[in-house]
Structure 1
Amino acid sequence: MRLHRLDLTAFGPFGSTQSVDFAELSAAGLFLLHGPTGAGKTSVLDAVCYALYGSVPGARQSGQGMTLRSDHAAPGVRTEVTLELTVAGRRLEITRQPPWERPKKGRRAGTTVDKAQTWLREYDAVQGAWKDLSRSHQEIGEEITQLLGMSREQFCQVVLLPQGDFARFLRADAEARGKLLGRLFDTRRFADVEKRLAERRRAAETRVREGDADLLADAHRMQQAAGGAMELPDLTPGEPGLAEAVLVAAAVARSTAREQLTAARCRLATAESALADADRALAGVRERDRLQRRFAEARERAARLEERSGAHREARTRMERARKAETVAPALEMRDSEDTAHRRASRAERHARALLPAAFEDAGAAGLAAAARRAAEELGGLESARRAERRLTELLGEHAALERQERADEEAREDAETWLAEWDGTRAGLRDAIESAQQAATTARELDVQRDPARQRLNAARLRDRLAQDMETAQEQARTAREDALAARQHWLDLKEQRLNGIAAELAGGLTDGDPCAVCGATEHPAPARKVDGHVDRETEERALAVHQRADERRAESEQRLGGVREALAAASAEAGDTPTEQLAREADELERRHTRAREAASVLHDAQERLRRAEHEHGIRVAARSEAAVRAASRVGHRERLDRERATLEEELARARGEATSVAARAAQLERSAALLTDAADAVRAAEDAAQRLKEADARLSDAAFRAGFDTPQAAADALLDDAAHRELQRSLDAWQDEEAAVRAVLAEPETAAAAQRPPADLAAAQRAAEDADRRVRDAASARDAAARRCTELDRLSARAAGSVRRLGPLRDEYDQVARMAGLAAGTSADNERKMRLESYVLAARLEQVAAAATVRLRRMSSGRYTLVHSDDRAGRGRSGLGLHVVDAWTGRERDTATLSGGETFFASLALALGLADVVTDEAGGVRLDTLFIDEGFGSLDDQTLDEVLDVLDSLRERDRSVGIVSHVADLRRRIHAQLEVVKGRSGSELRMRGTR
């Protein structure tokens, strides 16, 4: 990379346009950039870095591009940096303009902010003209970074060599050196490898611990299943040997559980045998107790039978008489039945005769039957008349129905006619309502689209008005801050000028006879300058400077606030326009009202459409109803005439049939009632005569039956009879006596019962207690056997689960061992890493070794062969090794730390280190040639001989066609280096002047 030209406008301390011809300066090979402190020497290097990367180096960076602007620039001049250079065989021109707050054009008050801009052009040697490549910040940044092959940090370290940084690098510890080298050589990928290995180690360790924790949890479960008889290993998750210890403990627990199960089974078999013996003994005792109680109960029952023997004989005698009387019972029942029938027939005869006319009071059964037949014959003749009467009733009903239908059809026809007369107007009104609602819906949609823009514009207008007020306040504050800053700056400059005018008196105040003057070197001071009234000392000037700086900070803050308000106001004004807020509010409210009215009008659309559909349906129904009513009216005319003719014929027939009765039905009812009464009376007379004859015959049969049964009178036989309930009760008593007597004899005759009665009483309670004790022992033994079986099953299950966990943990533990070993090696914590060197430190150590070798070539020449830089990977104290840097003194043959170098030695050692680092980074970046280098300050600490040697080394860089720019204010360098770029400062800003170039 070679620089050709740099143009600055309103940048840093340079208020006007300044140009630097690097091509002319580079022709000398070595040139000097000098000027008083604060004039802007470093700002020239900042401009180069800003042109290439869009930002300035290191701590001079700023997030706001407007801070790069010169305070000396005129308001209408924009800050701009243009750099022309050759890189990778291409001649390029880069122009950058940071954001700029400029006055508004025309007569408008205030300021506005222009965005940052960048241009990249390339010189076409064939056509002899520049061509545009890009105006995109991102594209230009990527293009420059790719061509240079290094980041901004690397460029600032290897092209703009900051000697103070390398002096600190020489004295720094390994951690600080690692940070710098890591930024230059981008070893983040190696740090990422360390981090990735550490993460994998932690992840693997977590999985192993989780697996061990699960295994240990299974071991605790096995201990619980084993009833606490299992001893757990005294190990924590993650410790080696845990899996083997758990499996061994599980095997011991399973063996113990199986032995316990065998013993429990033996105890259960013994208890079951004892229970069987106890059950058999209990059964025998129960049987003997049952027989003894059976014999005792039989003896008690026999005694009770003997006590009731007299009553039993009386009952048996009564039963024998009742059995004899049962032969007379049919005759008794027949006589009672016939007597009851006779009384009932007599009552019926009297009742039937009472209902007849007096003429039939003494008539016999034959006369009554003849009269009934005559009435029935007359009733049969009225059947045809009754049918005619029923038909006449039906005709009257049909005629009334026709009248009702006619009235209903007439009403329906009139209603349909009335409704249809209004149909055209109703349909037109509904269609008009639908059309109006549809138009309102369309209007609502159109207004809805306009509402949001109107509201947004209104909000923007309100924000515009508020920001306009804020703008006035911010402008006033910014104007006041600028005036205060200018006044403070002017006051400080005035005081500084007064101090410079009286600086001789201030220097004279420190003169002592015999001591050399700091200005002329004389030891005699015959006429020292004296302070005049109003003399300004250094403290007064510094206070004024502090006041100026605070005022300038307040100015920058107020201008920044003003810029923010101005940008927001411009955005709000662009959106709201110039329309007053009140008008926009009225327009927005009117839109809302119109939209609301349109929505309300459109809301009836569905209801109107539904009413039209229902009205059209009703119209069809009304037309059909009118037609159907007309058809029915025509059909009723003929039907009515037929009904009238049939009615007249029936009325003549009924007049003949009913005679003096009100109706045929009434005449028929009279005849039916008379025939029924006569028939009932004839039947009642015959029934009474038959009943009297049967009663006489029953009395004769009863007397004969009682005599044959051995009773003196029929009444005696009746008294001996028993009803069914008494007979059943007496028979049940006799049967029960016989059954009880037979049962008692049978029990007393049983051999086993009689033998048991001769034995001692049975002790059932003792036998039951013995059986219960045996059963309880069996249950306890079975419970113990089941618990032992469950323990074995659970231990087998948990052991199999633990074995599976151990098999799964094997590969995880192997993976963890490998990853942990690799992570420990990479992090420098492993015992195998003897020097405790991290992977990133190892890579940086290799780079540092290359840098030390490249720096030694120049350091030996600067120190006349005395010093050599060497890399050391020894550990420093308890820290890690790998980034040590020592210097070897050839005069003493000893190796010492670079922190022990003196000020001058530190300078040329750091210069050699910087040049060596530039070579290594250049090679690392892909061999991009760096034809222009800058060395910033540090030469004031060298003596003349060392300075000559350093300049010879720098001058030797021309052998590789390089140009080196030295940034320094050392006066001796101005005599030694002829090609110079001087920075001259003044009240209107600094200027650049070139000297000693051809």
Structure 2
Amino acid sequence: MRLHCLDITAFGPFGTTQKVDFDELSAAGLFLLHGPTGAGKTSVLDAVCYALYGAVPGARQSGQGLTLRSDHAAPATRTEVRLELTVAGRRLEITRQPPWARPKKRGTGTTTEKAQSRLREYEGPAGAWKDLSRSHQEVGEEITQLLGMSREQFCQVVLLPQGDFARFLRADAEARGKLLGRLFDTHRFAEVEKRLTERRRAAETEVRDGDAALLADAHRMQQAAGDIAEMALPDLAPGDPGLAETVLAWAAVARGTARERLTLAHSAVSAAESAQAAADRVLDDVREVARLQRRFTEARERATRLEERSDSHQEARTRMERGRKAEAVAPALDLRDVGEAEHRRASTAEAHARAALPASFADAGAPGLAAAARRAAEELGGLASARRAEARLGELTEERAGLDRQERADEDVLQDAESWLGTWETTRAAHQACIETAQEAATRAEQLAVRRDPARARLRAARERDRFAKDTDDAHERALASRAHATDTRAHWLDLKEQRLKGIAAELAAGLVDGDPCAVCGATEHPAPARKIAGHVGREAEEQALAVHQRAGEKATEDERRLGVVREALAAASAEAGDTPTDRLAEQEAELEREYGGARAAASGLHTARERLAHAELEHGRRVAARQKAELRAAARLSHRDTLDRERTLLEEELTRARGAAESVAARAAQLERRAALLTRAADAVRAAEDAAQRLKDADARLADAAFRAGFSTPQAAADALLDDAAHRDLQRRLDAWQSEEAAVRAVLAEADTAAAAQRPAADPRAAEQSAETAARRLRDAASAQDAAARRCAELDRLSARATTSVRRLGPLREEHDRVARMAGLAAGTSAENERRMRLESYVLAARLEQVAAAATARLRRMSSGRYTLVHSDDRAGRGRSGLGLHVVDAWTGRERDTATLSGGETFFASLALALGLADVVTDEAGGVRLDTLFIDEGFGSLDDQTLDEVLDVLDSLRERDRSVGIVSHVADLRRRVHAQLEVVKGRTGSVVRQRGVQD
């Protein structure tokens, strides 16, 4: 990767567009990026990283977006970073624009535009740029794929942060592991460790679950066995050794004991069944004797009762014989009763019919009454035409009344329509006015809605402005305090450094040994070595003061950054809210809300007003149509009424002739119908009474003859002897019961076995029943015991089979658990087989660290004049894990020591060598992508002139691999040694860059 050109606009401290030509700077292979503190040297590197990855390095990546924008930029200037580079043989141009709060084109305030990215490629044959993508995600994926490095790796390899590698030299194994893990992406090995741990836990859970299930089955077997087991189940827990063997052995003993109990239960049931059968036979014999004895006794008692009822039985037989004789007279008696009833009914009907006739027909016979009825019917037939005329007259009257009702209804319709239509114009004007008022309110509500959102935004921005103003004051005070503290700590450190330099001879003299050459002059005699004076300042005190100063500087930088963030937010809020007080903006916004609510309420009635006007127009049309129809009906009624009046006059004349003295023809017809009906009914009643009297006389003669032939002196005697069905059935039932009872008693008394049982002593069934019940109870108890024993055996067999299956299934699971647990312990470094307690990820990182140490040593030897060599160590540190140790071998002493013992200058060039070596290894790891441009940020101020020359020689040697190195430093001596320079100059209106190439 080689950088060609960088354009920065409104980014960081640069308020205007600044251009950096890396081709010119890289011509010498080594160039210097310098400027005063806070001018923006690191911001140039931030812009390179932001162009490539859309984010800035390290701690600066928090709070991107609007915070990347320069406070010195004009409001209409958009923040933009454009980088032109060559990577993998392709010349690309990347343009990045973070989110931007630009001024609104209309009105006041600002609006935020989204971030934008663009990637172009230069096509040599065409001599033009070709657009590749404008998607943030696609641009990021393309650059990451071409570079083969993530943003963290790029910031660690290309933008070499010296402070990070100095801490890396002094860090423990855990901190080194985190950094190397980010650079070499060894998280997959950590995932392997995690996966093995999860598999071990899963296998352990399966084994424990299997043991728990096996123990549960064992406890169920213990419950099923009850008290038959000769030995108790041992107290075991899941995971205990020998669990399966113990459970299976105990189950075998329980099954054997249960089968012995089942055999004993079978024998007990057989004995109980034999005893119950014998008791049942004895009980059956006793019950049979007792039954026969009771049967004989009951038969003797029944015979005695029959003798006592013999008289009543004879009387019933006599009565039954007289009833049978009377049955021959019964038809004549029934016929006489029917004739008498018919005669009474006919006489009564004749009397009622004659009572309804006029007195002139009181003694008339049936023929006279029939003749009078015929005459009335003939007169009634002559009134049929008159009755139809009378019915028609009624219809004409009702129709005439209907016309009058219609006329009155039409008059009401006409009057109502005229009244409603008279106010139509006023009503329509009122509805139209309501519609226009609602439309004006809707227009007003739309206008207020357009003004409401900006008012809300300004009020919200004003409140943020007030809050940010307070936060700005607080941040400014903290920044001033941090800056003053940093200045004090720097002065204190410089004082201590100066004091130490004054007494440095005493430190050197402390290491002199007689006979050994002096490190300064080479003499082997030391006649007057310098002595430490009171208040001598040592290296530890100086380093402690330097550490305090560095922490104070970092805190001051962080407070300055926070102040810038708050000021940028305050400026954005002030630009949107303006100078209007917040209270005044709140009042304006509330007033707009009230006006908007009122307009919305008024506009909500527009739809209702339109519906009311539509309904009124429909009603107007209906009223007009109703008035027209009523006028047409009135004209038609006049001619119809005249026709009805003429027909009515003709009918009334005809009816006057037909009804005579009656009120109406219908009344006259009713009189004739009633007379004809009465005469006809009377004639029929007279004839029916004469017929009934003759039939009664014939029935009396037949009854007297039938009673004489049946042997009765009078018909009444025959009637008294006659039995009804109920009495006959009762007598027959009593006679049949007597006969059946007599036959049954004789049969029982004639039975031989019954008579023989009566001669035996009285039987005692209760004692036999008790013996049988005792035998049955013993059989039930024995059967229950047998069933319980059988169920116990079956349950123990089932549980034992399931336990055996569980043991067989657990065998492979235990083997897998042991194998996975061994592998997980080795990978996690907790196993005893892992002597150095090295995790899998640490092992991989140790190999990478060994490569880095070898690559760094090649440059460290040149920088230290062959004195120092970096070596990797996998020794354990205390009780921790091993694998990521880093030592330095001092060729002067021949000893290997920890890198934390290096001095400040030694730490710098050791960390620089480590950074360059790490860059080579990460580059190879990333697929061999060429890194033609590198940056080294600060750290040169701690070197003396000779060491500085050696370091610059090493950096200059990087040109052998066609690399260019940019040094970021404010050390004044470097300006004389490095000719190609990029100077960042800060000012009140923002920073600018000044570039000087080799030819300058």
Question: Quick check: TM above 0.5?
Answer: yes
The answer to whether 1:174 aligns with 2:173 is yes
Task: Specify the alignment match of 1:296 in structure 2.
Answer: 297
Which runs of structure 2 are paired with 1:73-472 in the superposition (5 Å)? 145=144, 148-199=147-198, 201-202=200-201, 267-268=268-269, 270-303=271-304, 308=308, 312-313=310-311, 316=314, 371-388=365-382, 393=387, 396-401=390-395, 403-405=397-399, 407-408=401-402, 454-455=448-449, 457-464=451-458, 467=461
Which runs of structure 2 are paired with 1:730-749 in the superposition (5 Å)? 742-749=743-750
Q: 1:242 to 1:567 in 2, by over 3 A?
A: farther
| Alignment partners' CA distance in 2, 1:224 and 1:20 | 89
Q: Deviation at 1:178?
A: 0.9
Match of 1:762, SS state, is coil
Task: Specify the alignment match of 1:920 in structure 2.
Answer: 921
Match of 2:872, SS state, is strand
Q: 1:933 to 1:109 in 2, by over 3 A?
A: same
Task: Specify the alignment match of 2:63 in structure 1.
Answer: 63
Contact 1:852/1:871, CA 8 A, preserved across alignment: yes
Q: 1:176 to 1:551 in 2, by over 3 A?
A: closer
| Alignment partners' CA distance in 2, 1:719 and 1:474 | 130
Q: Residues 537-570 of structure 1: CA distance to partner in whole angstroms, max 9, x if unpaired?
A: xxxx99x999999997896576345235246549
Q: 1:858 to 1:609 in 2, by over 3 A?
A: same
Q: Deviation at 1:232?
A: 7.4
Task: Specify the alignment match of 2:521 in structure 1.
Answer: none
Q: Deviation at 1:832?
A: 5.7
Q: Residues 978-997 of structure 1: CA distance to partner in whole angstroms, max 9, x if unpaired?
A: 64869799996999797998
| Alignment partners' CA distance in 2, 1:97 and 1:317 | 138
Q: 1:112 to 1:652 in 2, by over 3 A?
A: closer
The answer to whether 1:601 aligns with 2:609 is yes
Task: Specify the alignment match of 2:47 in structure 1.
Answer: 50
Letter in 2 for 1:750: E
Q: Residues 913-952 of structure 1: CA distance to partner in whole angstroms, max 9, x if unpaired?
A: 2222122123223334444545455566667766665555
| Alignment partners' CA distance in 1, 2:643 and 2:802 | 99
Q: Deviation at 1:180?
A: 1.2
Q: Residues 76-115 of structure 1: CA distance to partner in whole angstroms, max 9, x if unpaired?
A: 9999888776655667787888889999999x99999999
Q: 1:602 to 1:805 in 2, by over 3 A?
A: farther
Letter in 2 for 1:168: R
Letter in 2 for 1:379: A
Q: 1:569 to 1:288 in 2, by over 3 A?
A: farther
Which runs of structure 2 are paired with 1:767-782 in the superposition (5 Å)? 767-782=768-783
Match of 1:40, SS state, is coil
| Alignment partners' CA distance in 2, 1:404 and 1:14 | 110
| Alignment partners' CA distance in 1, 2:756 and 2:41 | 141
Contact 1:477/1:558, CA 8 A, preserved across alignment: no
Q: 1:436 to 1:726 in 2, by over 3 A?
A: same
| Alignment partners' CA distance in 2, 1:2 and 1:786 | 94
The answer to whether 1:850 aligns with 2:844 is no
Q: Mean Cα displacement is larger for which, 847-856 or 484-493? A: 484-493
Aligned residue pairs total 937
Q: Deviation at 1:753?
A: 2.0
Which runs of structure 2 are paired with 1:846-925 in the superposition (5 Å)? 846-890=847-891, 894-901=895-902, 905-925=906-926
Letter in 2 for 1:917: L
Identity %: 55
The answer to whether 1:563 aligns with 2:571 is yes
Q: Deviation at 1:698?
A: 8.1
Letter in 2 for 1:279: D
Letter in 1 for 2:172: D
Task: Specify the alignment match of 1:532 in structure 2.
Answer: none
Contact 2:41/2:968, CA 8 A, preserved across alignment: no
Q: 1:651 to 1:200 in 2, by over 3 A?
A: same
Letter in 1 for 2:609: A
Contact 1:121/1:130, CA 8 A, preserved across alignment: yes
Q: 1:639 to 1:757 in 2, by over 3 A?
A: farther
Match of 2:927, SS state, is coil
Which runs of structure 2 are paired with 1:718-729 in the superposition (5 Å)? none
The answer to whether 1:40 aligns with 2:40 is no
| Alignment partners' CA distance in 2, 1:545 and 1:250 | 77
Q: 1:263 to 1:602 in 2, by over 3 A?
A: farther
Q: 1:399 to 1:225 in 2, by over 3 A?
A: farther
Q: Deviation at 1:179?
A: 1.0
Task: Specify the alignment match of 2:542 in structure 1.
Answer: none
Contact 1:979/1:997, CA 8 A, preserved across alignment: no
Letter in 2 for 1:396: E
Q: Residues 654-707 of structure 1: CA distance to partner in whole angstroms, max 9, x if unpaired?
A: 99xxxx99954465467557656765776688689x49x958x988998x889x
Q: Deviation at 1:242?
A: 7.1
CA RMSD of aligned residues (A): 7.2
Q: Mean Cα displacement is larger for which, 483-492 or 666-675? A: 483-492
| Alignment partners' CA distance in 2, 1:644 and 1:722 | 74
| Alignment partners' CA distance in 1, 2:76 and 2:483 | 22
Q: Mean Cα displacement is larger for which, 845-854 or 51-60? A: 51-60
Contact 1:845/1:882, CA 8 A, preserved across alignment: yes
| Alignment partners' CA distance in 2, 1:851 and 1:354 | 146
Match of 1:871, SS state, is strand
Q: Mean Cα displacement is larger for which, 981-990 or 962-971? A: 981-990
| Alignment partners' CA distance in 1, 2:808 and 2:483 | 85
Match of 2:912, SS state, is helix
Q: Mean Cα displacement is larger for which, 439-448 or 777-786? A: 439-448
| Alignment partners' CA distance in 1, 2:631 and 2:277 | 102
Q: Residues 841-871 of structure 1: CA distance to partner in whole angstroms, max 9, x if unpaired?
A: 2322221111111122233344454543332
Q: 1:771 to 1:550 in 2, by over 3 A?
A: closer
| Alignment partners' CA distance in 2, 1:50 and 1:315 | 140
Letter in 1 for 2:184: F
| Alignment partners' CA distance in 1, 2:835 and 2:798 | 48
Q: Deviation at 1:606?
A: 9.3
Letter in 2 for 1:190: F
Contact 2:39/2:984, CA 8 A, preserved across alignment: no
Which runs of structure 2 are paired with 1:788-803 in the superposition (5 Å)? none
| Alignment partners' CA distance in 1, 2:806 and 2:237 | 16
Q: Deviation at 1:969?
A: 6.9
Contact 2:233/2:250, CA 8 A, preserved across alignment: yes
| Alignment partners' CA distance in 2, 1:483 and 1:314 | 140
Q: 1:132 to 1:446 in 2, by over 3 A?
A: farther
| Alignment partners' CA distance in 2, 1:229 and 1:856 | 81
Match of 2:886, SS state, is strand
Q: Deviation at 1:271?
A: 4.0
The answer to whether 1:752 aligns with 2:749 is no
Q: Residues 274-317 of structure 1: CA distance to partner in whole angstroms, max 9, x if unpaired?
A: 434333322222111112222333344455556x37xx458747
